[in-house]
Amino acid sequence: MKVSKNSRLSQKLNNQSGSATAEIVVALPIIVTMLIIGVNFLSETMQRDRLRYLAEGVVQAVMRDESEIDIAREVGRSLPGAQFSIVRNDSDGTFRVTVRYQAGSATAVGLQ
């Protein structure tokens, strides 16, 4: 008796019916973990860029001789809760601005 190709294929598929579910159960946590890691990386990168951009803005404000009160107001408006510090080096006329927010910080250097 000859068995058709279609019936052999359907028998093979019936024998492996639970393997796809098992593969999904194994792969799903890995996919979710990779997605979470990717989102965290993207978030940290955006936060770092935002802090660097803010530090560069403070450098420009200091170079325009704006008051530290005005600079603090703009920093607070741009990123509530952020703090900044300005360290001047009188020997060569440079200064360093550090902006801190939560666990991140960024530094920029300016010339006065």
What's residue 11's pLDDT? 62
- Residue 11: phi, psi to the nearest 5? -65, -40
Domain boundaries, the chain: 5-111
What is the average pLDDT value for the chain, to the nearest integer?
A: 87
Calculate mean pLDDT across residues 22-41.
91
Residue 5 reports pLDDT greater than 70: no
Among 69, 73, 79, 72, which residue's Cα sits nearest to residue 101? 79
